[in-house]
Each structure stands twice: as structure tokens, then as C-alpha cells.
Structure 1
């Protein structure tokens, strides 16, 4: 793939910010068509579908942040001259063509495209049918920005395919396809992993846990839980499961306080057998499979554990590998938790809601990767490249 000059790429991004800003009414009108057609049976999906001036401002900010970042392509990773005279240089290169499959969020159409384009990749955007009008106009904006700068419009393409057509495309792509990023629930991820013939980078489910240690600062704990559970229920970094150490001082009193703050915010509570002895009016968990569910709703599970190791084992068994937090004042306990919990992001005394590219200093993100290859966590601009070895000789042969 031919590498575009950084100036050319940044000029396209500058054009896109101006187009977005001056065509807000047109974009909001298209989004209203999507909202009017949506049945609202899934509140979290509906919330993610909504565009407004604040979200458009966020799109523009994301583009400007990526524009300001260093071009990640053609950077030297290592450069050596070997004893035999060969010069070996390892450089960053684009993946090629990336396909992202996602639902509802039109802002992904901007964030995914800006990241892919700045890293010199082509991107195929497979958004959900619920956002079709919003996505079509956003891709039209992208094409206008590309053509204004004499860049081919096929760097950014919108795919309009049903499930059967998507399956066929993944099995037998009609064009080059180097990486697929399914951004959604387990059914989507399993579908892509089953059918794709190229590399798949998993942006897994949330189902995030918070463990309350016996040495936790209780006021900070309640504040963190309120934020993590209720600030944005449609986000993959929202809190779903709370584990509390039974040895915490004033255990029963604190459980009641936790119940109160959650109920005040209309959170449905489900409890295990131990918690049910205190909060006996709450629904009892009867199936262990619920500990694996991502709720995306005002709903949470509360369970009791006897020690740190029990909490770690439970999180590693049931979480989505996304985010987990511990509330404690003890350094050694926090260190053990953070080292042993198998998640992309682990926190001490902080809300899981910070698992976001912008919040963690990465900038715009393609997804939150729960994979371990080739990157884990927010998939920002610097991680949308792979590498290639360039070897220079003078007629060298290997004897």
C-alpha cells in the first residue's frame, strides 16, 4: 500500500472537521430518521444511537486529537548492522484493510475512520441497520473530505450487508481484508471468529467487577460505585458486579448502606446466599451463569467473599477481561489484586469508567481490546500498525 504524506492525511482530517461543523443540521436530521425508526426495546442501544451537538463536538475533538498525534507509520523500531554486513531495519507499517463491525454508535463511524486513515489503513465500516442514515451521511462527509484533498474515497467504505452477506464476506472477502474488529457482544464476537479467514482482534464484553477489601475507605467506595454503576449504563466500562469481603468492619451496616445508595438510583440488586442473609428482600441469584452476563442496565450483582484470593478467582472465572477495580488502603493487597486479575485494565480506588482511550491518555480508540495479541486495552492510533523488516545487502548469500 502506498504511504500518504502526513500533511495530506492531516489536511483530510482538517476538511472533515469543517464539514462536520458546518453540516450539523443535516447530520442531526439523518440521525432523527434512525431514532424515529428505532423501537426502543433496547434502551442502552437507543442511548448509543443518539447524536446531538455535544456528540458532534466530541467527534470534532477526536479528529483534532488524532490529527495532533505523531504519524505512527514508517517509524523505526530497531536498526542494526550485522557482523556479516547486512543492515536490518524494523519499521512500523499499516495493517492494510481493517473491517470493524459495530452496532448503534454513529460516533464510531468517525473515530474508527480517523484512526484507520491516519495510520494509512483502509477501513470497511459495517455498522448496524439501526444507524444506517447517520452512518451514510457521515461516510458521505468523509468522501467529500478525501476528494477535496485528491485522495481516493475507497480509503473509507460503508458496507451495507445483512448477516448472511456478512458471513459470506468474512469467509470469502471480495477485496483485501487484513484485520477484523468485532465491537459488540459475545454472539457477534463468536460469529466473526467462526467465519473470518483473517486476523480478528476482540473487543470483548464488559461485565466489570469491583472488589471491596476489608481495608477499604467506605466513603470513597460508595462514591466509586455510584459513578461506575450509574453514570453511563450503556458503556462497556460500566460496573456490573460487586464483591465484598465479609471481614470488613460493620459488614451488615455497610451492606445496608450500599443497598440504599443503589436503590436511590433505581438499580436492581441481585444477591448471593451470603448477602441474602442481610439483604433478604433482594432477589436471590439462582444461576451462576448470571455472574458472566454484561447487563448494560441499572442492575448489579452483590456477592460476599472471605478473602482476596476468592475475589480474584471469581473475577478471573466470570469477567469479560475488560476492567476490574479494588477498593483498599493497603498497598500489598492492591498490588496482589492488580497483578493477578486477568483484565485489560485494573484499578485501585477508582471507577472502571476510566477505561476509555481519551481518559487514559491514548486519545480516540477503535475499541477496547480484551485480546492479548497484538495489543490489550484502548486500541489507539499507535496500535493500528504492525511491523516489517527491511534488510539491505550487497549480494549477500547465506552459506
Structure 2
């Protein structure tokens, strides 16, 4: 693959900033077409689909942030000289061609492409049919930026295939694909894993938990829980489950405060049988499958546990491995929780809503990886590279 210089890549991104701004009305008009066709049957998906002028500003900002970041390609990770005189360097290198499959969220068309391009990767964008008009306009913007700077449009391509055609594409891609990132629900991830013939990096489900320890400060608990649940219900870092310690002093009074705060936000509540009498209008948990479910809705599930170890075990069993938080005044408890809970991000006395590239200081992100290889958490610019060994000799043989 041709390696572009930093100035060449940044020239394309600089053009893109102007083109997005100039195309604002076209983008908004195309998005309105998508919204009119979609309806609002799935509120979470609808929320992700919406692009307004503020979202366009965010797209411009995402391109600017990546343009300002150092080039991640060609960095020396390690170097040394062996006894036989061979000089060996390990350097960062592009993956090659990345395919991302995502539902709704036209902003991914900007963020994924800007990250891939700055990291010298080609990218294939398989957006959902619900965002097709918006995505076409945004990819046209990319193609104009590439063409204006003398580069092939092949660097950034939009794929519009139905399910059957996508299955065949995954099994027999027309060109070599080095990495696939499915960004969506469990069905999408299973579909991609079943049919893909190359590496798959999963941006998995949320189903995030908060464990409220017996010594938690409830003046802190209430705003953290409300923010984690309601700040953006369609986000994969939103809160779905609350585990409260059975030894909490004044448990009934504290739960009633949280119950009232959630009801004020029109949150539907489910609860263990032992907590039903403490929560107004809470429904019983139907079966164990609820504990595995990511809600993406104003809905939350309460459970009671008999201590830190039980909470950790339950979270590791049911959560999606995305973001989990402990609310406690005890640093040792927090450290144990954060060390033993197996997820991409663990929190102490803070909302799970911070698992995001921008909020974590990474910048734009391709996805939030819940895989352990090759990276877990926000996939920013520095994570969209692999590595290569450069070995320099003067005739050495083995």
C-alpha cells in the first residue's frame, strides 16, 4: 500500500473541513429524507440517525482534531542491534483495508473515514439503509476532498448492499480486507463473525452495571445514576443495571430517593423480588435473560447482592464488557472492583457515559472495542495501526 505523507493526508482533511461546511444544507436535506422514511418506531435508532447543524459542527470538529494529531504511521516502537550486527526496528504500519459495518449514525461516516485515512488505511463504509441518503452526501464530500488533492476515491468507499449481498461480500470479498469492525447489536456481530474470512474487531453491546456499595455517598449516587442512565439512552455506555448492597444502612429510604428520581425521568423499572416492595411500580424481572439485555431505552433493572465479590461475579457473568462503575467511599473496594471486573472501562464514583473517544481525550473514535485483541476501549487514531519489523543487515545469514 502506498504511504502518503502527513502533509498529503492533512491537505485532504483541510479540504474536507471546508467541503462539509459548504455542503451543510445538502447534508441536512439528505438526513431529513432518511428521517422521513424511517419514522420513530425505534427511538434509540432514530436518535442516532438525526443530523442537525450542531452535528455537522461536530463532524467538522472531528476532522479538525484528527488533522491536528500526530501521524501514527512509521513511529519506531523499539530498536536495537543484535550480536550479529543486525539492526532491528519495530515500526507502526497501516492495517491496509478496513471494513466497518454500522447502523444509523451518519457521523460514523465522517469519524471512521477520517481516522482510517489519517492512519493510511483504505476504508469501506457499510452504513445502514436507514441512513443511505445522508451517507451518500457525506461520502461525496470525501470523494471531492480526495479528488481536489489528486487522490483516488478508492481510499474511502460506501457500500450499499442488502443482507444477502453482504453475506456473500463477507465470504468472498472482491478485494483483500484486513480488518472488519461490526458496530451494532448482537445480531450484527454474530452475522459478521459467522461469515467473515478475516480478522473481526468487535464493538460490542453495553449492558453496563453500577454497583452501589453499602458505604456509598448517596449525594453522589443520585446524580451519577441519573446521568449514566438518562444523558443519552441510545448510547452503548448508558447504564442498564443497578446492584445495591443488601447491608446498606437505611436501604428503604435510599432506594425510595433513587426510585423517585428515576420516576421523575419516566424510567421504567424492573427489580428482584426482594426489592419490589421498595420501588414504586417496579415490575418483576421476567427471567434470567433480562440480566444479559442491553436496553437502549428509559429502562433500568435493580438487583440486590451480598457484598463486593458477589457484585463482581454477577457483572462479569452478565455485562457486555463495556463500562461498569462502583459507587463507594472505600478506595480498597474500588481498587478490587476495578481490577477484577472484566470490561473495557471501569469507573469509581463516576458515570459510565465517559467511555467515549472525545470524553477520554482520545479524539474521534472508530468504535469502542470490547475485544481484548488488539485493543480494548475507544479505537482512536493511534489504535488503527499494526506493526512491522524492519531488519537491516550487511550480509548476515543464519
TM bracket (short chain): over 0.9
How high is the TM-score relative to the length of structure 1? Answer: 0.99
Shift of 1:279: 2.7
Query: Superposed, which structure 2 residues align to 1:49-88 within 5 Å?
Result: 49-88=49-88
Distance 1:27 1:203 in 2: 27
Aligned to 2:338: 338
Report matched runs for 1:355-394 at 5 Å: 355-394=355-394
Quote the residue 2:128 is aligned against: 128
Unmatched 5+ stretches in structure 2: none
* Aligned-residue RMSD, C-alpha: 0.8
Report the alpha carbon displacement of residue 278 of structure 1 after superposing the two structures with TM. 2.4
Alignment of 1:88-167 (within 5 A): 88-167=88-167
Residue 4 of structure 2 is matched in structure 1 by 4
Distance 2:367 2:129 in 1: 20
Partners of 2:109 and 2:225 in 1: CA distance:
31
Asked whether the equivalents of residues 259 and 280 of structure 2 are also in contact (C-alpha less than 8 Å), the reply is no
Q: Is 1:329 equivalent to 2:325 in the alignment?
A: no
How many pairs were matched up? 398
Secondary structure (helix, strand or coil) at the match of 1:199 reads coil
**2:269 touches 2:281 (CA, 8 Å); kept in 1?**
no
Give, in angstroms, the shift of residue 274 of structure 1: 1.8
Distance 1:331 1:197 in 2: 45
CA distances 1:262-315 after superposition (whole Å, capped 9, x unpaired)? 001000000012212423742011301101100000000011111001110010
Instruction: Name the SS of the counterpart of 2:294 in structure 1.
Output: coil
Give CA deviations for 1:131-169 in whole Å, capped at 9, x if unaligned: 000000000000000011111110000001111111111
Mapped partners of 1:40, 1:130: distance in 2 = 12
Residues in 1 aligned to 2:315 and 2:109: alpha-carbon distance in whole angstroms: 32
- Alpha-carbon offset, residue 81 of structure 1: 0.9
How far apart are the structure 2 equivalents of 1:339 and 1:171?
A: 39
Residue matched to 1:250:
250
Match of 1:315 in 2: 315
SS for the counterpart of 2:232 is coil
Aligned partner of residue 39 in structure 2, secondary structure: coil
1:35-46 equivalences in 2 (<5 Å) = 35-46=35-46
In 2, Cα distance between equivalents of 1:244 and 1:307: 9
| 317-326 vs 276-285, which moves further | 276-285
Moved beyond 4 Å, runs of 4+:
none
Q: TM-score, normalised by structure 2?
A: 0.99
Q: Match of 1:326, SS?
A: strand
Structure 1 alignment gaps of length 5 or more: none
Alignment correspondent of 1:278: 278
> 2:288: which partner in 1?
288
Q: What CA distance in whole angstroms lies between the structure 1 residues aligned with 2:179 and 2:274? A: 45
